[in-house]
């Protein structure tokens, strides 16, 4: 018997203070979260099982923290889980993003799409026509007929909601309504008023709009190409959207320049009635739903301007946010906190998705020329298209490169296969991996480990103090142990997703 290769030992926290005599064990492969005493955790961290009680050893063995399996056998479990996910849960996952034009009325200094400005004015200003839109949605209709779980469409750019795009945007909205797709858009909000009637009419659920400070601070970072101020007009358009019942998710890109301006932004949102005066959480008002979050902006050309997610968290706490409020408004932690709280509720097995994002799960990004990309971060880059839209056939014609992106998963990335964070990090962002290694098909660790080691002890401690449960989660180890040798071989080799689904349900890896 030995300590699992995928074991993580952390303190258990009550806010900023360690909980006396308790520690947290996390198994990154099986998703098991367990509370033990500090002396027990110290022994496990040192690989020393002497002195652990028989009852504790039995419990930790059942949960997967201790194991009689070899490293190769644990790796086989990882590959089996990854294959099960791709063949069953991830088989019909797809997402749709449409770029009506690459043109943009902003020239933000940190924008990662600046390469598009080198392609010439005619290319930049080209707008999708009705024929191309019809072909894209014919292909989407075919996808849905084939069983793909495709339920929404995101408008992206460039700037998708330029005033000159009004006709094609309305056409796209009509197609979305006809196919029952929810609509959202990522926009700078500057010319939003030209689209609000259509967005409200066709049921746009939400808009993501960016601001980077109050007044001139924002105008320096969210730069109009003609040098015009942007802050007040964007906020005016946000109010118009809320009045029409369209939700607004406000994103604040934070760098070293505007980190100290977070408090002024929150105060301005409060003074305008966007969020309640008595707290900083946002919420529903008569104009619609308004939410906001902060995210560390990455400027690869000027890394000295970048800040970490932890720096944003510290600034939120400094200006008076309670820890739970700060989590709700810091994107880097918000998603992880939501995942952890769901795990602790124990309603479902921990996720064993090995895919970091939609790029590895069938995402379709269609541009105004009909090119298809796997990720919106790689649009218009040479050699990154994975297919095109066949206008005559009304089909997406995808290359083998699209299939390759579906295999960029943590269970298949050599550097991730023995990492305790394999199902927590899931290989990281492919585009950041390209910047780091020159390949999209490498790992990118980023700040995931530091984020997890900050949040997991706090949220696990919060749950433990309330419920006093030693086993904070379900564990994948139990269902895997129920597989017969024949079933295990079948799941490693079968090309039938129905067969794999039946086995996964029988042993409890997949809910009924």
Output the pLDDT for position 109: 84
Residue 400: exposure state from Cβ atoms within 10 A (0-12, 13-18, ≥19): exposed
For range 379-408, the mean pLDDT: 95
Contact (CB, 8 A) for 22 and 16: no
For range 324-335, the mean pLDDT: 86
Query: By percentage, how much of the chain surpasses pLDDT 90?
Result: 83
For range 134-152, the mean pLDDT: 94
Residue-wise pLDDT tens digits, 452-487 = 999 999 999 999 999 999 999 999 999 999 999 999
Nearest to 374 by CA among 161, 3, 160, 94: 94
Output the pLDDT for position 447: 87
Which of 261, 291, 321 represents a domain boundary (last residue)? Answer: 321
Alpha helix (H) ranges present in 272-409?
Answer: 309-318, 323-328, 331-345, 400-406
Q: How far apart are CA 52 and CA 41, in angstroms?
A: 10
With respect to residue 382, please indicate whether it lies within any of the assigned structural domains: no
Which of 302, 321, 340 represents a domain boundary (last residue)? Answer: 321
Tokens of 392: 């005559």
Nearest to 196 by CA among 174, 222, 169, 223: 169
Residue-wise pLDDT tens digits, 334-356 = 889 999 999 999 999 999 999 99
- Assess whether pLDDT exceeds 60 at residue 97: yes
Output the pLDDT for position 42: 94
Residue-wise pLDDT tens digits, 15-41 = 889 999 999 999 999 999 999 999 999
With respect to residue 203, please indicate whether it lies within any of the assigned structural domains: yes
- Assess whether pLDDT exceeds 70 at residue 144: yes
CA distances (Å), origin 171, targets 2, 101, 126? 61, 14, 16
Q: How far apart are CA 214 and CA 367, in angstroms?
A: 33
* Residue 327 binned pLDDT confidence (cut-offs 50, 70, 90): confident
- The residues that bridge with 396 in the sheet, in sequence order, are 389
- Assess whether pLDDT exceeds 60 at residue 282: no
Domain residues for the domain of 190 are 91-321
CATH number at residue 268: 3.20.20.70
- Assess whether pLDDT exceeds 60 at residue 172: yes
Q: How far apart are CA 82 and CA 407, in angstroms?
A: 10
Can you tell me whether residue 12 is helix, strand or coil?
A: strand
Contacts for 73-79: CB closer than 8 Å, 24+ residues apart:
74/4, 74/5, 74/6, 74/29, 75/5, 75/417, 75/418, 76/492, 77/29, 77/30, 77/480, 78/29, 78/411, 78/417, 78/422, 79/411, 79/412, 79/492
Residue-wise pLDDT tens digits, 228-256 = 999 999 999 999 999 999 999 999 999 99
With respect to residue 183, please indicate whether it lies within any of the assigned structural domains: yes
pTM, whole model, 2 decimals? 0.91
Pick from 68-82, 108-122, 205-219, 378-392: least confident: 108-122
Q: How far apart are CA 168 and CA 435, in angstroms?
A: 34
Phi-psi region of 297 (alpha: psi -120 to 50; beta: other; left: phi over 0): beta
With respect to residue 490, please indicate whether it lies within any of the assigned structural domains: yes
Output the pLDDT for position 406: 92
- What average pLDDT does the structure give for the chain? 93
Can you tell me whether residue 56 is helix, strand or coil?
A: helix
With respect to residue 285, please indicate whether it lies within any of the assigned structural domains: yes
Who has greater pLDDT, 286 or 449?
449
Q: How many other CB atoms sit within 10 Å of the CB of residue 410?
A: 26
Output the pLDDT for position 278: 40
Can you tell me whether residue 369 is helix, strand or coil?
A: coil
With respect to residue 386, please indicate whether it lies within any of the assigned structural domains: no
Output the pLDDT for position 50: 86
Residue 146: exposure state from Cβ atoms within 10 A (0-12, 13-18, ≥19): exposed
Output the pLDDT for position 277: 45
With respect to residue 280, please indicate whether it lies within any of the assigned structural domains: yes
Which of 321, 340, 355 represents a domain boundary (last residue)? Answer: 321
Domain count, the chain: 2
With respect to residue 234, please indicate whether it lies within any of the assigned structural domains: yes
For range 390-394, the mean pLDDT: 96
Pick from 70-84, 107-121, 440-454: least confident: 107-121
């Amino acid at each position: 018997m030995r300590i699992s290769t995928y074991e993580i030992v952390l303190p258990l926290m009550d806010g900023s203070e360690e909980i006396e005599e308790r520690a947290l064990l996390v198994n990154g492969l099986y998703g098991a979260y367990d509370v033990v005493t500090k002396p027990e955790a110290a022994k496990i961290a040192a690989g020393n099982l002497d002195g652990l009680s028989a009852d504790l050893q039995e419990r930790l063995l059942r949960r997967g923290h201790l194991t009689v399996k070899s490293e190769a056998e644990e790796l086989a479990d990882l590959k089996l889980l990854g294959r099960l996910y791709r063949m069953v849960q991830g088989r019909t996952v797809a997402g749709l993003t449409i770029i009506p034009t690459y043109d943009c009325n902003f020239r933000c200094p940190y924008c990662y799409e600046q390469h598009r400005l080198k392609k010439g004015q005619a290319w930049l200003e080209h707008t999708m026509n009705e024929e191309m839109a019809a072909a894209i949605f014919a292909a989407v209709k075919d996808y849905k007929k084939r069983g793909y779980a495709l339920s929404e469409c995101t408008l992206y750019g460039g700037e998708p909601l330029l005033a000159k795009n009004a006709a094609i945007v309305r056409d796209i909205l009509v197609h979305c309504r006809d196919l029952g797709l929810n609509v959202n858009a990522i926009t700078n909000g500057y010319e939003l008023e030209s689209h609000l009637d259509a967005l409200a009419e066709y049921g746009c659920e939400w808009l993501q709009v960016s601001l980077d400070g109050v007044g001139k601070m924002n105008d320096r970072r969210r730069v109009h190409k003609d040098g015009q101020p942007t802050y007040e007009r964007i906020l005016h358009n946000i109010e118009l959207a809320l009045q029409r019942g369209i939700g607004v998710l406000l994103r604040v890109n934070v760098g070293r320049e505007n980190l100290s301006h977070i408090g002024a932004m929150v105060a301005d949102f409060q003074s305008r009635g966007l969020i309640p005066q008595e707290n900083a959480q946002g919420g529903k008002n008569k104009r619609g739903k308004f939410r906001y979050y902060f995210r560390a902006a990455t400027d690869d050309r000027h890394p000295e301007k970048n800040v970490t997610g932890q720096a944003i968290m510290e600034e939120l706490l400094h200006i008076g946010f309670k820890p739970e409020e700060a989590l709700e408004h810091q994107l880097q932690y918000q998603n992880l906190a939501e995942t952890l709280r769901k795990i602790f509720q124990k309603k479902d097995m921990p996720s064993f998705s090995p895919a970091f994002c939609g790029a590895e799960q069938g995402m379709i990004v269609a541009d105004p020329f009909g090119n298809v990309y796997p990720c919106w971060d790689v649009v218009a880059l040479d050699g990154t298209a994975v297919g095109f839209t066949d206008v005559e056939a009304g089909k997406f014609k995808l290359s083998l490169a699209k299939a390759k992106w579906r295999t960029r998963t943590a269970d298949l990335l050599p550097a991730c296969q023995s990492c305790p964070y394999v199902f927590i990090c899931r290989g990281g962002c492919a585009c950041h991996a390209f910047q780091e290694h020159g390949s999209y098909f490498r790992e990118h660790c980023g700040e995931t480990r530091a984020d997890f080691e900050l949040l997991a002890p706090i949220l696990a401690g919060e749950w433990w103090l309330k419920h006093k449960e030693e086993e904070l989660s379900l564990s994948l180890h139990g269902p895997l142990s129920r597989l017969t040798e024949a079933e295990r071989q079948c799941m490693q080799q079968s090309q039938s997703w129905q067969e794999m689904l039946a086995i996964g349900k029988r042993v409890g890896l997949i809910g009924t």
